[in-house]
Chain A
Amino acid sequence: MNKTININLGGVFFHIDEEAYQKLKKYLDAIRRSLSDDPQGKDEILTDIESRIGEILSEKIKDVRQVVNQNDIEDIIAVMGKPEEYAGDEGIFEDDTTYKNAKNKKTKKLFRDGSDKFLGGVASGLAHYFGVDVIWVRLGWLLLLVGGFSVILYPILWILLPEANTTSEKLEMEGEAVNISNIERKIKEELSNASKIVKDGIEDVSEHLKSGNYQSRVRTGLQEIIDLFARVFSAIFKVTGKFIGILLIVISAATLFGILVGGFSLGSIEFLDLGDDMASYPPFFNNSRLPLWLLITFSFIAIAVPFILLFMLGLKIISSNVKSLSRPTNLTLLGIWLVSIMGISFAGIEYQAHDANQYTKVEKIAINTPITDTLNIKMLAKDDFELKRYYDSQTVYENGKEKFYKTNIGLDIRESNTNDTYLKIKKKAYAITKAKAVEYANKMNYHLEIKDANLLLNAYFISEIENIYRHQKIKMVLYIPKGKTIYLDRSTKNFLDNVQDIYDEEMIKHYYKMTTKGLNCTDCNSKKENEELIENDTENNE
């Protein structure tokens, strides 16, 4: 049992069954598409064709009650010819190569070309689409093979692009190249099309106004103008959309390529165990409960998934026949993306939690040198591991054990309330619990030495590897009584911590005497009144 539909073909009324109707509609649509190169004549041609089909049908169907079926439509198609044949003999005078372009001026679609394939025909499909020779596309794939880009992208395209099987698909694949001049022509065509509609619409409206009955008619005129705007916008979008699509593809592909290369390099570095010097991670990567490789994978997924989707969106804009990802695939992608985001968030929260409690351990060390002696202050770096510039920490090996070497040390100098010289060492540590913070502070291994009139401070401290990046620092305050002189060795340059109202770095290599107003430079040339004192001090020093 079939539903029947009533149609009007060139002014004649027909009953047609649903399947036959679909077939006829498809046929007429196909003709419309194949005639797309002249928008003005298209409607007229189609009306003529419909009238002719109506004529043929009415010859066949004598009884009005008879229903048009599929066979009738097939017969009509046989008489009228295939949609391709309507395009006429447009391209026959062209050479074979340009013939393809002239023959089919409809929008091009991306397919895989099964007839010219090395692997899946992706390269030849792209070549058809952009109107370049396939060898360039293949060379491009080879170039992108460096870093594994092709290895990822090629299968994606292979899966997403359908193969051109039927003739019309092949024609669509080989249609007009997508380039600037063609796009420009398309815009012009669409605009002239649109202006024709405007003109018709205005004529229509004015005609209706003349005839007096405007209430209902104005509406149709308005409707047409609204339609027109919709068409103009869709035309503009069609054109700019291609650019946006290409832009999306380029950007997302470049990003995917970047993170792939990055991920590959990181993986190699980790695999070869080149360590921290080569790769620096966000701080919270290093002391998470989650393993480093998992966090790296999570970051990769978190960045990659949105860009894969953008990439596909770009492809879709460029060519409507790109397959969509199936629902399960989409859900899986969404799932792993969410898991990755949660994993990274967890590591971040975990990291923040490590700062929750703080503990400062204070040690006081007396420096028993005569008040007349000048105290020479030096910061000693450990010779075996030279710390790189701009790094305030790095991992080192001590007795075969990995340790954490840090230079976050500050030195301040203040006046002592007594006649004693002493040093206060504040070891500051953070941890998730108070007990842990205390433990970490106690584990901070700091060494200093007092040798004759020299205060030899270590320029570093060593801590357990687990404490890495937990902001431990050591702050020292040297208390000296009034009248005592100190000398700041060059090595203290980077460790002075707001000692005086002079730039800390400019304080080195000078002598200072503690006065009621704070430290007073005794050998600075800028201060004339100190010149005499310099001599005294040099004597002292000797």
Chain B
Amino acid sequence: MKIENTKAQMRKGILEFCILSILQKGDAYTSEILSVLKDAKLLVVEGTIYPLLTRLKNAGLLSYRWEESTSGPPRKYYALTETGEIFLKELTTTWQNLATAVQVVTKKSN
């Protein structure tokens, strides 16, 4: 049992949940998503996010469009699809249940 694995396991589901949550507030391009995640210290290195975004997109939870930018090449803007919305809703409920459950359990053991 490696502590890194456990940590990564914990982070994994949450990361997908957080990406979907960020996009719920509005469409965003990769760098925006990255900066939110990095500020929240959810992400250590940026590289991890790219396979994740592609996977979510291929699963039909996200869609993207190209948008011209004033300061450089066009940017890839991600948006939540309908399936993504439903997916996110379920994740939110699960997360809330989990959060309370974890709170209850950790309080008891203290």
List chain A positions with a Cβ less than 8 A from chain B.
10-12, 31, 35, 38, 40-41, 44-45, 48-49, 51-52, 54-55, 58, 79-83, 85-89, 92-93, 96, 99
B26 located at the interface, meaning its Cβ lies under 8 Å from any Cβ of chain A in the complex: no
Query: Cβ of A79: which chain B residues have Cβ within 8 Å of it?
Result: 45-46
Q: Given that A10-B73, A12-B72 are known contacts, is A81 also in contact with B11, CB under 8 Å in the complex?
A: no
Among B46, B54, B73, the residue within 8 A (CB) of A80 is B46
Give the shortest distance, in Å, between A542 (CB) and chain B (any CB): 108
Among B2, B45, B55, B58, the residue within 8 A (CB) of A85 is B45
Q: Check if B55 sits within 8 Å of A49, measured CB to CB.
A: no
Q: Chain B 24-59, CB within 8 Å of chain A: the 1/0 string?
A: 000000110010000000001111101111110010
Give the shortest distance, in Å, between A527 (CB) and chain B (any CB): 99
Q: Check if B12 sits within 8 Å of A89, measured CB to CB.
A: yes
What is the bound-complex CA distance between A83 and B46, given in angstroms? 11
Query: Cβ of B100: which chain A residues have Cβ within 8 Å of it?
Result: none
B8 located at the interface, meaning its Cβ lies under 8 Å from any Cβ of chain A in the complex: yes
Query: Cβ of B76: which chain A residues have Cβ within 8 Å of it?
Result: 48, 51
A contacts with B: majority SS: helix
15 contacts between A and B (CB under 8 A): A45-B51, A45-B54, A48-B76, A49-B50, A51-B30, A52-B31, A54-B72, A55-B31, A80-B47, A81-B48, A82-B47, A86-B50, A87-B51, A88-B48, A92-B9
Q: Check if A92 sits within 8 Å of B47, measured CB to CB.
A: no
Q: Given that A40-B58, A41-B54, A89-B8 are known contacts, is A54 also in contact with B73, CB under 8 Å in the complex?
A: yes
List 6 tightest A-B contacts by C-beta distance, closest first: A81-B45, A11-B73, A81-B47, A41-B54, A86-B47, A92-B8
Q: Check if A55 sits within 8 Å of B46, measured CB to CB.
A: no
Q: How many residues of B contact A (CB 8 A)?
A: 26
Query: Cβ of A12: which chain B residues have Cβ within 8 Å of it?
Result: 72-73
Which residue of chain B has its CB nearest to the CB of A35? B51
- Known pairs A44-B54, A58-B72, A85-B48. 12 more at Cβ < 8 A? A12-B73, A41-B54, A45-B50, A48-B76, A51-B30, A52-B34, A79-B45, A79-B46, A80-B46, A80-B47, A88-B52, A89-B8
* Residue of A12, A38, A48, A82 most packed against chain B (CB within 10 A): A48
Query: Cβ of A92: which chain B residues have Cβ within 8 Å of it?
Result: 5, 8-9, 12
What is the bound-complex CA distance between A85 and B49, given in angstroms? 10
What is the bound-complex CA distance between A99 and B58, given in angstroms? 24
Q: Chain B 55-67, CB within 8 Å of chain A: the 1/0 string?
A: 1001000000000
